[in-house]
């Protein structure tokens, strides 16, 4: 991939690199060049996976629930019964955590229903036994809540599709890191994530007309569904969003995924309904000693009618909560930062301290972003 040595923000339309699901799942397939071009230091930190068996049906089923949530008479009040206030943005329903003075309009409109995919009832953390109870999944009562009929099954089915991608990718990422630097154990990431989990999120972006009038007037010409950010996880599986009209019918619109490379150049990237974008998060950026690029990304959309909502499903691939987040080849965090030519795109001074455990890394990072 050609290096674009510009420090200012510009926008380029760029084709993402694609891989067939069966090739990603083949441990004997040599994916060194694909991993390098997608996730290496000159890549965008993103790889699109295609031809995932059964995926499109699962995507369509789970995203329909976002439309049902937005269609409730008073969705914000109704969904409070599924909140876990002490761990917002991690388990249960969350809404209204962003500061309107600091965030883009899409962040203000966002509601999110979070649950883990593998450990449904509890998560074990030897350091903090209270975590076991706090992180129990929250599911709607499908008998009392008819709009959520089949929700748990459909949520977990979609989550398993999304989880299978980073699970398959770990083998190839290990080979790539060991190829770059023999100080990385050939099974470094696999060993580190021997007891991993995947947290998934169904997002419901409420329609523009649900905002107070003064906010609508200020933002009518500039809707950013998701403002610029990096994920805090190791790997992220990102489904392509769906948009719905008030009567639950799909509304077709272009919503490009914007990615900044490490030189600050914006790339406009698109992928299809039956594909999934696999991205690198901050934790893996540190664990890989900066050799795998954490991806600053945002989502902008064409103008849509004020009553159109947006649905999204995303999964975050995590190590155990007590896992120490540090470079796997013995380098320091300053060594990692110094590999970043902009210094700012992957700067994590506010979230990261030497010896920090993953759960604290996530809690601090989410707290800073959604304060």
State the CATH number of the domain containing residue 316.
Answer: 2.60.120.330
How confident is the model over 309-342, as pLDDT tens digits? Answer: 899 999 988 877 778 888 899 998 878 877 776 6
> pLDDT at residue 95 above 70?
yes
Range of the domain at 346: 11-369
> Domain for residue 219, yes or no?
yes
Top-confidence residue, 117 or 126: 117
Q: Give the model's pLDDT for residue 305.
A: 80
> Domain for residue 324, yes or no?
yes
43-52, 69-78, 180-189, 206-215: which has the minimum mean pLDDT? 206-215
> Domain for residue 5, yes or no?
no
Pair 280, 173: CB distance under 8 Å: no
> Domain for residue 52, yes or no?
yes
The mean of the pLDDT values for the chain is 80
> Domain for residue 198, yes or no?
yes
Question: Residue range 216-225: average pLDDT?
Answer: 61
How many domains is the chain built from? Answer: 1
Q: Give the model's pLDDT for residue 132.
A: 61
Q: Give the model's pLDDT for residue 11.
A: 57
Entry pTM: 0.86
> Domain for residue 6, yes or no?
no
> Domain for residue 151, yes or no?
yes
Question: Which residue, 347, 324, 321, 325, is CA-closest to 336?
Answer: 347
How confident is the model over 198-220, as pLDDT tens digits? Answer: 789 999 988 877 766 656 566 55
> Domain for residue 79, yes or no?
yes
Alpha helices in the chain (DSSP H): 21-24, 32-39, 55-70, 75-78, 105-109, 130-134, 151-180, 188-192, 213-219, 282-287, 333-337, 358-369
pLDDT band (50, 70, 90) for residue 118? confident
Tokens standing for residue 130 = 């209270």
Q: Give the model's pLDDT for residue 294.
A: 86
Strand order in the sheet with 11-13: 11-13, 266-269, 257-260, 297-300, 224-229
> pLDDT at residue 87 above 80?
no
How confident is the model over 126-146, as pLDDT tens digits? Answer: 556 566 666 778 888 888 888
């Amino acid at each position: 991939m050609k290096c674009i040595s510009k420090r200012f923000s510009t926008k380029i339309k760029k084709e993402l690199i694609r891989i067939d699901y069966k090739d990603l799942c083949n441990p004997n397939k040599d994916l060194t060049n694909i991993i390098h071009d997608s996730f290496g230091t000159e890549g965008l930190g993103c790889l699109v996976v295609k031809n995932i068996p059964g995926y499109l049906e699962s995507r369509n089923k789970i995203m329909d629930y976002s439309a049902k949530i937005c269609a409730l008479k008073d969705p914000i009040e109704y969904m409070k019964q599924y909140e876990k206030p002490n761990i917002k943005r991690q388990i249960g329903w969350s809404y209204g955590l962003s500061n309107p003075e600091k965030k883009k309009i899409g962040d203000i409109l966002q509601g999110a229903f979070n649950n883990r995919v593998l450990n449904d009832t509890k998560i074990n953390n030897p350091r903090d036994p209270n975590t076991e109870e706090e992180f129990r999944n929250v599911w709607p009562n499908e008998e009392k809540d008819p709009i959520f009929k089949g929700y748990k099954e459909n949520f977990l089915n979609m989550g398993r599709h999304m989880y299978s991608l980073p699970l398959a990718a770990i083998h190839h990422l290990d080979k790539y890191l060991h190829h770059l630097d023999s100080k990385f154990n050939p099974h470094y990431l696999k060993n580190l994530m021997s007891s991993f989990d995947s947290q998934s999120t169904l997002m419901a972006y409420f329609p523009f007309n649900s905002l107070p009038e003064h906010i609508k007037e200020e933002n009518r010409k500039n809707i950013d569904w998701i403002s610029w950010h990096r994920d805090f996880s190791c790997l992220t599986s990102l489904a392509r969003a769906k948009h719905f009209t008030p009567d639950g019918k799909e509304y077709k619109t272009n919503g490009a995924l914007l990615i900044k490379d490490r030189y600050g150049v914006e790339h406009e990237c698109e992928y299809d309904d039956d594909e999934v974008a696999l991205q690198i998060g901050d934790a893996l950026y540190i664990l890989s000693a900066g050799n795998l690029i954490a991806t600053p990304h945002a989502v902008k959309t064409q103008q849509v009618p004020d009553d159109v909502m947006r649905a999204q499903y995303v999964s975050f691939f995590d190590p155990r909560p007590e896992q120490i987040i540090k470079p796997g080849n013995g380098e320091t965090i300053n060594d990692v930062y110094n590999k970043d030519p902009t210094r700012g795109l992957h700067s994590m001074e506010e979230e990261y301290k030497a010896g920090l455990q993953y759960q604290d890394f996530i809690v601090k990072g989410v707290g800073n972003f959604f304060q």
